[in-house]
Every structure is written in C-alpha cells, then in structure tokens.
Structure 1
Amino acid sequence: MMSDLSATDRDVSRETSERLSALEGLLRKWNPAVNLVSKESLKDARTRHIVDSQQLYTLAPRDFHRWVDLGSGGGFPGLVVAILAAEQNPEAEVILVESDQRKAAFLQQAARALGVKATVHAERIETLSPMKADVLSARALAALPALCRFAERHLEPGGVAIFPKGANHQAEIAEAQQSHDFSVSVLPSVTDKDAAILVLKKIKAR
C-alpha cells in the first residue's frame, strides 16, 4: 500500500498534500464523538480513506463543473475531491450531501478549516432537489440499483457516476441491470485488490 500512497502524493502539490494531512487530523479528532468512520479503518486512514478517495478524482473529467458526493459521511470522497479541485479545477463546484446532522456539521467545519470550497446539504438524497451533477459519487452508501436511482435524479444526461465497490461488484452490476440500462467500466482499486471502481454513464431506468 505504501507504494500507492507515495505515487499518489507525488501527483499533488505540497499545499494539497498538507491539506490532505490536515483532513486526516480532523478525522482523528472528530471520530470519537461523531463516529465518521469505523475505528478499525482509522488505523490506516491515509490509505483506507484518503488515497481511496483520491483515486476516484483521477477517473473524472478534468474540467468537471459540478461534482456531487452523496452520503459524504466523514468527507470521503467529497472533502478529498474539494481539496484536489482547489488546486486542479478551482472554478468547479463541489457539493456534499449528508443527512446526518452531526456529520454534516463536521463537513462544514472541516471545509472551513481546510480552506476549500464545498457546499453541504444536510438533507435526504430522495427529497433533495435534482443536483444536475456532471460527476456523481457515492462511497459505501447503497447497493448499485439504489445508486442508479439516485443517479437518475441527480446526474446530468451526459454526466458520469463513480462508485467504488467491494468484492461482490459483479453481482451488483447484474442486479442493477435488471432495472436500469447503463454503460459501465470496471476498474481495479489501488487500495484493495478485491475491490473495483465502477464508472457508469448513460444511466436510464428500463
């Protein structure tokens, strides 16, 4: 894992690397009170959460205008996206959706502390007004059929959805294809040999 981390860190500026480290510090500070991520995963937070989120950014169009992260939780990938966009795509809009009020409060305070642009919506995904995202992400939120329904509502027709998934990703794809048509690229995860990143386009209910 360390080789992946080192390679990822070389791709960003010192300021961005410092912000990512600051995010890890905020996560460790807040987690005992708010339970942002599992205690076990906190032991290797840099790889499990930060590098795992960074890889999603590399799969998105470089010139995206609005990235919407559903169920942002502890800020993964949403806050990581906001940090990377501050350097690489500063005009972009990053929106984090998190219905848990305490987690949403963390996201707002963390964005301010990190000095990055991120709008937080403390609302349920199902009732949120359509977000018109050209990039949509969700990490450890729901099964793929539900994510496709969310994408129908919040993703622009020409947009791309990026969903990291675990070892059962092929079964989730097959299940989602029962209710939706879409094109999908299955890419290997740099942080988990059994996991994959699903990049979906042209999502439409059957």
Structure 2
Amino acid sequence: MTKSGVSRETLDRLSHYADLLVKWQARINLVGPDTLPDLWRRHFLDSAQLFRLIPPEARRLADLGSGAGFPGLVLAVMGAPDVHLVESDSRKCAFLREAARVTGTGVTIHNQRIEKVAPLAADVVTARALAPLGQLLGWAEPHLAGGGRCLFLKGRGVEDELTATAKEWNIALDRSPSETDPAGQVLQLREVCRGRS
C-alpha cells in the first residue's frame, strides 16, 4: 500500500480488515479464491487508487454492490465522508458490519438491492466488478446528487462497454490507466443523463 501514501494508523486498520477477510473467506466467498495470495494489490490498492479522485468538497459516497467492501469500505477507512455501502447479500453485509467494527470505521450499510434503496444524493458513486457500464449508470443515476460523479474500476472490455453506453447515455468522461491492473482503467463520469443529445 506504499503507493497510496496512507498513514501507519490507516495501514494498521486495513491490515485488520485483510486479516478478517481471510478468516471469513473460509466460510463465505467474499473474493475470488485465486486472488487471496495477491490480496493487497488486487483488492486493497486497487480500491485505494480512487481516493485521490474524490473531490475535496464531496460530502457523501455511495458504493454499489459493495461485496467484501471494495472499494467503498477501503475508501471509508482512508477517510472518505459519509460512506453508504449497498449490498443485497445478507452474509456479505454481516462481514461488512464486522469489518467496519474491527477497523473503527463509521459507514451506513444498506442490505437491499440497489434499485430498492431510496435515492442517496451522493456526490460520488463507486462500483467495482459489478455490471456492464450501461447497467451501472442506470443504477447510479438515481443516487447521484446534482454535479455528482461516478468512479468505476473497469477491466478488459471497457472499450466495448463505452461504445454500447454511448448509444443510451450522455456522459462527460475522464479515464486513466489502473495502477494495479495492466488491462484496467479508472473511469470518472460526470454529467450523467440518459438519452443522446
């Protein structure tokens, strides 16, 4: 995690989180088993790279399909404000509650399907390994505050997803290479609205 520039205290909290994940992984499938040997790079650093993209004026972050807390809980541990984790799997929500407790991190956990959650008016909406871009935008749009942005971690196939999305959505897009995945990209999307101009 050295590239993320986090404090020793934050690193310790993330270490407790990682230990807990490995322990719970034996009981429920939180991450792909083949990613465990490279847990820090594949999950923690991958999530942490979004932190610098959160605008300083942001007041709320919504993480869709939080799963084991990537990227939402990692960002909350790092200091993102008023983080809401949306996850429909109750076992994963139990893990998120315990990970938040162990790391001393205040988050709001919504144990519901994304489309059932009341609009969150979030300044930032995040998601990772959840759904194709067009579907993600459909879920994210109701939860975005005016002027809000989406931060999505995407892997292979992002070009095809962007092409398909352009048929249905208007977006202002910035993107950068992932720091952890040679085939990955970080998408920053603003001015999200359905329908072509």
TM-score normalised to structure 2 length: 0.96
Match of residue 148, structure 1, among 132, 137, 140: 137
Give the number of aligned pairs.
195
Q: How does 1:123-142 map to 2 (within 5 A)?
A: 123-142=112-131
Distance in 1 of aligned mates of 2:56 and 2:20: 27
- Structure-1 residue corresponding to 2:66: 72
- Structure-2 residue corresponding to 1:168: 157
Contact 1:98/1:104 (8 A) holds in 2: yes
For 2:27, the aligned partner's letter is A
Contact 1:78/1:94 (8 A) holds in 2: yes
Which blocks of at least 5 consecutive residues in structure 2 are unaligned?
none
- Structure-1 residue corresponding to 2:172: 183
Distance in 1 of aligned mates of 2:53 and 2:161: 20
Displacement of 1:62 in angstroms is 2.3
Displacement of 1:16 in angstroms is 0.4
What percentage of aligned pairs have identical amino acids?
44
For 1:55, the aligned partner's letter is Q
Structure 1 runs, 4 residues or longer, greater than 3 Å off = none
| SS of aligned partner of 1:33 | coil
| SS of aligned partner of 2:48 | helix
| SS of aligned partner of 2:116 | coil
Distance in 1 of aligned mates of 2:146 and 2:163: 22
- Structure-2 residue corresponding to 1:114: 103
- Structure-1 residue corresponding to 2:31: 37
Distance in 2 of aligned mates of 1:31 and 1:70: 21
Question: What RMSD over aligned residues (CA atoms) do the two structures have, in Å?
Answer: 1.0
- Structure-1 residue corresponding to 2:44: 50
Contact 1:151/1:203 (8 A) holds in 2: no
